[in-house]
Amino acid sequence: MTEREERRFAEVPRESIKLMAESTGVELSEEVAALLAEDVCYRLREATQNSSQFMRHAKRRKLSVEDFNRALRWSNTETVCGYGAQDALPFRPLKEGELFFVEDREINLVELALATNIPKGCAETMVRGRAGTGSIMPTAVQSLSEDLLKYYQQITRAILGEDPHLMKVALLDLQSNSKIAALLPYFVYVISGVKSVSHDLDQLNRLLHMVKSLVQNPYLYLGSYVRSLVSSVMYCILEPLAASINPLNDHWTLRDYAALLLSHIFWTHGDLVSGLYHQILLSLQKVLSDPVRPLCSHYGAVVGLHALGWKAVERVLYPHLPAYWANLQAVLDDYSVSNAQVKADGHKVYGAILVAVERLLKMKALSLTLAAGGGSAGLPGTTTGAVGFRENSPGLSPPPEPLSEPPLGIASHLQAGGAGCQWEEWTPVSLPAMYCELYSFFGDSLAVRFSTDPPLGGAPSSRSCQPLEGRKEPASGAPNLENTRKMPQLTASMNISPRQDGSPRMEPQPPSLAATVPGRSLARSSSSSSSVSRSRSSSSRPGRSTSQSRDIFPKARFPLPQAGPPAFSFIIGGRQMGRRCQGRRFQTSFTPTPPLNTLPPRAYAHKLPVIGRVSKPVRRWTCSHYSLHLPL
Amino acid sequence: MAAVQDGPMELDTEKETKPEILSDGTSKLSGNTASGTLSSSPLTAGGAPKQEDQQTLIAVLQFLRRNKLSESVEILRREAGLEDQEDSQTLDGSGGGKGDRDGGEANSLLSRVSITSAAAPQSTLTPITVKRANEQLDVSVVLSAYSQQGDPSLYQVYYSGLKNFIESVLDCHRAELSQLFYPLFVHMYLELVYNNHENEAKAFFEKFGGDQECYYQDDLRVLCGLTKKEHLKGNEVLLDFRTSRFVLRISRDSYQLLKRHLQERHNNQIWNIIQEHLYIDIFDGMPRSKSQIDSMSGSFAGEARREVNKVKVFHGLLKEPEIEVPLDDEEDEAENEEGKPKKKKTKKDSMGSKSKKQDPNAPQQNRIPLPELKDSDKLDKIMYMKESTKRIRLGPENLPSICFYSFLNAYQGLTAVDFTDDSSLLAGGFADSTVRIWSVTPKKLRKVKSAGELNLIDKESDDVLERIMDEKTASESKILCGHSGPVYSVSFSPDRNYLLSSSEDGTVRLWSLQTFTCLVGYKGHNYPVWDTHFSPFGYYFVSGGHDRVARLWATDHYQPLRIFAGHLADVTCTRFHPNSNYVATGSTDRTIRLWDVLNGNCVRIFTGHKGPVHSLAFSPNGKFLASGSTDGRVLLWDIGHGLMIGELKGHTDTIYALKFSRDGEILASGSMDNTVRLWDSTKAFDDVETDDFTAATGHIHLPDNSQELLLGTYHSKSTPVTHLHFTRRNLLLAAGGYSSQ
């Protein structure tokens, strides 16, 4: 009697009712069917409404068949059996007619009963408590959501998979996705898998790319995971990968890329890796000084050092070079066929070293130029290596980045982080001396490149006749300049030239001890600052040394200039007290290349810093620094 | 007036007597059983007149006879002799009845004083057990009120006439009079349906259904599916609507306005409905604003009558009887920092000086008989003291740490959780009818040895308590099987010796945590028991279920001591007041009621929720009550004044867990929306109290400051929060079942 127009709920059509009645052999009139249909609908709704309370009390959001059955049972109606499964029942349409049905497959009970793969019981219900304080709780409680898990799977699959295009997309997303913080540990874990794929350059490469993407993602805070990433990268740089056995594999590029990545991490995440710097230098050095290691590892160490900046090269590679050179030379000189491959590798290493030291020289020169250039006196000449720029900082941690490179964030952190850990014996070498020594190894191949650097060439000649004044001015000026350009700590480590005035601005930095060498006719001595730059944390040191320098400088200043061919005298100050008495003195005039034989007999092997002896050198320094300035 | 009276009086009286009789009968029975434990309780004078009792009795007898329950007839006859003296344990009805009469007198305009007073108990007392057993009789009686009818085609005219009128009155009255729309609408619709005017009913619904307040949507949905007289019979929701009188609070001015209008128009149809099915609670003073009205409305039967909430409630805390230590007095606790043995002494001293007895709101110590403390209880109290000296003082700047217990692999469906007070045990109720207990501490759960083995034990030894435990049974968790339906709630006894569980199978079971066996099955609800809760002093417990009543039990009685009847729908949650003298129940009818354990009276009715109430929590000082419902709101109530004092909005789904921190500074709420939220309850309570307290009218204007009060929101991962618990040191424990979907 009523048409169902405005109803807001599903209805059982009267046709269905009639059909069902017919199936049981009852003929229904239209009117009865309509009434019945309406009643059935009502009863269904009622049962559904009643069943919802069971859902609510079971604290669920989803109404289950069970709930509905309970409602039926409580209203004394037969329950509906066979639909208790947790999963949704597939509801299928039949194409031919407008018929929908629930799929109901037959189950072979015999087969099921005799099946041998007995399903394991589901895991036992258990309670796990996770605590979080205040705002931490949300993350503490979280495990991965479904979506994130999916994302993770997709990304790793794409990156490690075959399709280069997919990989690119995945990497790009990894680099820019802001919501993957929760996945970071998982990715880091994946990346740490480098060790298991050392035979597969391709995979290694992909993993490194993954590192790069993660590092570049501005939304990710790497936190302590950066260590894991760095160790993975270091693995690629240093390890004699299984892939390197085959000379056809271009593992060199991989190492280069890893080194690049390493430097990138240090540049962009300096705050996180500060503590790592020394460790890494150490491990690089260890590899380098271990002749048993294959050349490809050495190559890795060299490019790694190169990547860490010229200071790293200066402090690790350069001192070690003489010792290493002998080995390398041996390899390169062996023309036997069996050695061909090794020799080729040796050339690689040779090239890498060359590149590294060239940059070292350039940067060092440049730093001096800059330092001197800023000087009020504008002594052009002082700039040259002659300044005898020393970086003599035990505690002064890592060499900061090259001057030319702008981002300067690292040094400070490194400084801070590495405060406690001092390098033991390390004496800076003046630029000319360095150049000489390097020249002795590389010969013209070095000189050629170096000579392109103008300041060096011109420098010696332009050396002024009032070197000491000159020296002094730039000395005070240079730090200023540096200050403006770099972070203060950095300057500290630069520590160019004597800073007799102990400029207050420089306070934090280790004072430099200026030693003058009022030589004989030879004019000024450049004294280099042997700064004790131990970490500023080291107590009395700075004050003392500054005062020292103040005392000393006047002396140094006056015995002045006699014009003569410009020449430098260097004193190896500071840390090498043991040898100080021997007056490790270089006298070199720049215009003519110093003859090789002037090279000091260096005990290269002993120069390697020994890590971990933190306080000792300082103490030694304390008692010996007066003698540092002995006039030569 | 005459026009008002022309309803069929005989029908009215007939309908009213029977249901009341039946319910009174049940209460009598419960009263008898209760006398065992609560014999010391003073019997309150019942409100029901003697004559009514007689009628009641006769009707019950008739009913029993008709159902061939001859034995019961006998018993009842015997009882009847005593009955006049033992006019005890009237349920809500007596209070309600009295209140009704007062209301009637105050409202001389509604001149049917005698009828209202008779009708009222019926309205509030319809235990479903009776109703169901006897549906035919009951329903026809109730619905017969609709047999009077006007011209069905005019209903729309009537309604829209009133609508036009209300929309044209002054703003201040409009909000108040708008309250009439919903009850009138429903009654008129049902009247049409009842009289078989299906099409008119549909048209009527179509036209005006959309006008109703959004919080009535759920009911309207049920309503619109109902178009046949036959359907009315089985529908409980609508039965409720019929049997209860919808309560409206309207200021005198607004009411006069309405009355004048209806009389001018001779709109008898509407006037009749107002007379018969509505109860208009008239107050003097300013008409309420729309927001004030909205905050209080939403329940099945309108607001609570003001009279209902006037009874004095002793919400203060009991003094700790045995060890002379006030339980919740932190100052005292702070005072003594010495070790355990000295503690007691200093306590006693301090007790002498400042006595907690002066709390005017505390009930008499022996108002209800409480079990004596055992030695182990005293030890536990001392432990409690010790712990609470280390308690962290919480506040807006000092939020609690939260530890979340996730139930993993709970394929059986976690339905309920409870922690012991000392947070050492955790119980979970599951939909597969099991209860599981976990030890949260490293201490494993052990059973007591069997009787034979116990005989061999040296009973004199010092460590006899240790010796009786069977080391072989040590495990981290135990499973308790016994129910035959989903377990909907679990509750530990304060002494940790027992566990209660209530289930869909209609029983409450008491389990021993010494033997991990079921001790008692309490049968009485006959329908799913949604919630059960132990008294804070043990021994008593309360349960509430689908049969719309809450029952008070004692563990050593297999029948309930009290039956709290009055809710119009399922009792979904039950909580004991900290002083054990009161019980709060929340219901699907969207009200919260507070019941006096002593005499079974309903002493508070709180309305304002817009959905079934699923969680309740008393503040530790006993003054306040928090309630959470499916609408995602937490409401705060002042028990003493019977007022709503706060509304906490933030959750987006049903709130299943509420808990105050041990000192009451923080309220934690846990919800289906997978969050735990922390609220500044101190501020919530203070903000209101500093206002000029409109306690007299009860028309409080709620500040909308949920955002300020919300101190934190903590998300879990797909884990609805089922339970919250503050440890004695104020660490917040939350629990829920991880759901992978």
Q: Is the pLDDT of residue A119 over 50?
A: yes
Question: Per-residue confidence at B144, pLDDT binned at 50, 70, 90?
Answer: low
Higher pLDDT, A23 or A179: A23
Query: Do residues B527 and B547 make contact, with C-beta atoms less than 8 angstroms apart?
Result: yes
- Among the residues of A239-393, which ranges form H helices? 251-268, 270-273, 276-288, 295-307, 310-312, 318-333, 340-373
- What band does A511 get if pLDDT is binned at 50, 70 and 90? very low
In one letter, which amino acid is B727? T
- Separation of alpha carbons B363 and B360, rounded Å: 8
Helices A65-74 and A30-57: crossing angle in degrees, nearest 10, is 110
What is the rounded average pLDDT of the residues B325-336? Answer: 46
- Measured CA to CA, the distance from residue B421 to residue B423 in angstroms comes to 5
pLDDT at B678 > cutoff 90: yes
Digit-coded pLDDT (tens) for A490-508 = 222 333 334 344 334 433 3
Query: Would you state the pLDDT for residue B386?
Result: 85
Helices (H) and strands (E) in chain A, counts: 27, 5
Higher pLDDT, B348 or B113: B348
| pLDDT tops 80 at residue B533 | yes
Q: Is the pLDDT of residue B673 over 80?
A: yes
- CA-closest candidate to residue B509, choices B447, B429, B449: B429
Out of B198, B206, B405, name the one closest to residue A128 (CB).
B405
In 10 A of CB B243, how many CB atoms?
A: 26
Q: In A493-516, which positions are buried (b, 16+ CB within 10 angstroms) versus exposed (e)?
A: bbbbbbbbbbbeebeebbbbbbbb
pLDDT at position B592 is 94
The pLDDT of B505-528, averaged and rounded, is 93
In DSSP notation, B233-273 reads HH-HHHHHHHHSPEEEEEEHHHHHHHHHHHHHHT-HHHHHH
**In B590-673, where do the E strands start and end?**
591-596, 602-607, 613-618, 624-629, 633-638, 643-649, 655-660, 666-671
Is the confidence at residue A362, as pLDDT, over 70?
A: yes
Helices (H), A109-200: 109-114, 137-141, 146-160, 164-176, 184-191
Which is it for strands B402-408 and B434-439: parallel, antiparallel or unpaired? Answer: unpaired
Residue B481 β-bridge partners: B434
Q: What distance in Å separates the CA atoms of residue B16 and residue A512, rounded to the nearest whole number?
A: 106
**DSSP for B274-314?**
HHHHEEEEEESSPPPPHHHHHHH--STTBSPPGGGGGS---
Degrees, nearest 5: CA angle B529-B534-B536: 155
Contacts for B301 with CB less than 8 Å, ≥ 6 apart? B123, B240, B241, B244, B245, B246, B247, B568, B589, B591
Tokens of A321: 């070079």
- Whether ipTM > 0.95 holds is no
The pLDDT of residue B309: 83
How do beta strands B507-512 and B517-523 pair? antiparallel
| Cα three-residue angle A248-A250-A255, rounded to 5 degrees | 150
Nearest CA in chain B to A87: B741
* pLDDT confidence band for A518 (50 / 70 / 90): very low
Taking the CA of residue A541 and the nearest CA in chain B, the distance in Å comes to 45
**Is-contact B146 B276, C-beta < 8 A?**
no
CB contacts, 8 Å: B209 with chain A = none
How does the average pLDDT of chain B come out, rounded? 77
Residues of A in contact with B409 (CB under 8 A): 122-126
pLDDT above 60: residue B96? no
Each residue of A385-425: pLDDT tens digit?
A: 333 333 333 333 344 444 433 333 333 333 333 333 344 45
Minimum mean pLDDT range among A189-203, A270-284, A409-423, B169-183:
A409-423
The mean pLDDT value for B687-694 works out to 56
Question: Minimal CA–CA distance to B399: which of B736, B732, B733, B734?
Answer: B732
Per-residue pLDDT reduced to its tens digit, B361-414: 888 888 888 888 888 888 888 888 888 888 888 888 888 989 889 888 877 789
Tell me which of A198 and B517 has the higher pLDDT.
B517
- Position B585 scores a pLDDT of 95
To the nearest whole number, what is the mean pLDDT of chain A? Answer: 64
What is the identity of the amino acid at A189?
Y
Find out whether B387 and B362 touch, Cβ atoms under 8 Å.
Answer: no
Chain B residues within an 8 Å CB radius of A129: 403-406, 440, 733
Instruction: Tell me the nearest-neighbour CA distance from A244 into chain B, angstroms.
Output: 46
User: What is the token pair recorded at B130?
Assistant: 């009776």
A-side interface with B, Cβ within 8 Å?
1-2, 6, 8-9, 38-39, 41-42, 45-46, 49, 53-54, 56-62, 66, 70, 74, 122-135, 137-138, 140-143, 145
Q: How far is A68 from chain B (nearest CA, A)?
A: 14
B230/chain A closest Cα distance in angstroms = 9
B229 neighbors B210 (Cβ within 8 angstroms): no
Residue A132 is predicted with a pLDDT of 55
Strands B434-439 and B278-283 come out as unpaired
Q: Looking at residue B172, what is its pLDDT? A: 83
A49 interaction partners in chain B (CB closer than 8 Å): 222
Mutate to test the interface with B, among A9, A57, A146 (most CBs of B within 10 A): A57
Average pLDDT (B425-430) is 93
Query: Where residue B48 falls among pLDDT bands split at 50, 70, 90?
Result: very low
Q: How far apart are CA A169 and CA A158, in angstroms?
A: 8
Beta strand B507-512 pairing with B498-503: antiparallel
Cross-strand partners of B517: B512
**Cα distance between residue A510 and residue A396, in whole Å:** 8
If pLDDT is split at 50, 70 and 90, which confidence band does B572 have? very high
Q: For residue range A194-211, list pLDDT tens digits in order.
A: 777 777 888 888 888 888
Amino acid type, A518: P
Q: A402's torsion region: left (phi>0), alpha (psi -120 to 50) or beta?
A: beta
CA distance B321 to chain A (A): 36
Work out the burial of residue A110: count CB atoms within 10 Å of its CB; fewer than 13 is exposed, 13-18 middle, 19 or more buried.
exposed
DSSP one-letter string for B345-401 = HHHHHHHHHS-GGG-TTSPPTTSS--PPPPHHHHHHHHHHHHHHHTPPPPBTTBPPP
Per-residue model confidence (pLDDT) at position A148: 81
Query: Are the C-beta atoms of residues A530 and A390 closer than 8 Å to each other?
Result: yes
A453: pLDDT strictly greater than 70: no
Q: Which helix (H) or strand (E) holds B713?
A: strand B710-715
A578, two tokens: 């043991």
pLDDT score at B502:
95
Contact A261, A212 (CB under 8 A): yes
B142 — pLDDT class (breaks 50, 70, 90): low
Chain segment A222-251, per-residue pLDDT in tens: 777 888 888 888 888 888 877 777 777 788
CA distance B569 to B572: 9
Q: Which residues of B touch A131 (CB under 8 A)?
A: 401-404
Composition of chain A by helix, strand, coil, percent to 5:
60, 5, 40
C-alpha closest to that of A346 among A360, A361, A334, A356: A334
Q: Over 80: is that where the pLDDT of B109 sits?
A: no
CA A64 remoteness from chain centre = 53
More confident residue, B233 or B708: B708
Best probe of the A interface among B399, B717, B733, B740, by most A CBs < 10 A, is B717
- Mean pLDDT value across residues A93-110: 79
Q: List CB contacts (< 8 A) between A127 and chain B.
A: 405-408, 426, 428, 438, 440, 477, 735
Choose among B335, B131, B320: nearest CA to B239.
B131
Q: Which residues pair with B587 in a beta bridge?
A: B571
Residues linked to residue B725 through DSSP beta bridges, in sequence order: B733
The predicted model scores a pTM of 0.57
State both tokens at B638.
């002042």
pLDDT for the residue B484: 93
Of A89-98, B278-287, B507-516, B684-693, the range with the lowest mean pLDDT is B684-693
Return the SS3 of A126: strand
Report pLDDT for B420: 93
Measured distance CA(A295)–CA(A344) in Å, rounded: 10
**pLDDT for B667 beyond 90:** yes
Which pLDDT band holds residue B170 (cuts at 50, 70, 90)? confident
Kind plus residue range of the DSSP H or E element containing B406: strand B402-408
CA atoms of A394 and A493, how far apart (whole Å): 10
**Structure confidence at residue A546 (pLDDT):** 39
Contact B564, B609 (CB under 8 A): no
Q: What is the pLDDT of residues A525-556, one digit of tens each?
A: 333 333 333 334 333 344 443 334 343 333 33
pLDDT in tens, B537-559: 989 999 999 999 999 999 999 99
The mean per-residue pLDDT over the stretch A366-394 comes to 48
SS3 A209: helix
Q: Are A463 and A566 in contact (CB under 8 A)?
A: yes
The Cα–Cα gap between A526 and A472 comes to 10
pLDDT reported for residue A111: 82
Mutation choice for A interface testing from B128, B232, B240, B402 by most A CBs within 10 A: B402
Q: Measure the CA–CA gap between B679 and B647, rounded to whole angstroms.
A: 11
Q: For residue range A554-606, list pLDDT tens digits in order.
A: 333 444 444 444 433 333 333 333 334 343 333 333 333 344 444 444 444 34
Q: What is the pLDDT of residue A187?
A: 84
How large is the average pLDDT for residues B671-687? Answer: 89
Token pair for residue B392?
């962290």
Q: Determine whether B268 is exposed, middle or buried from the number of CB atoms within 10 Å of its CB (0-12, 13-18, 19+).
A: middle
Give chain A's radius of gyration (CA, Å): 38
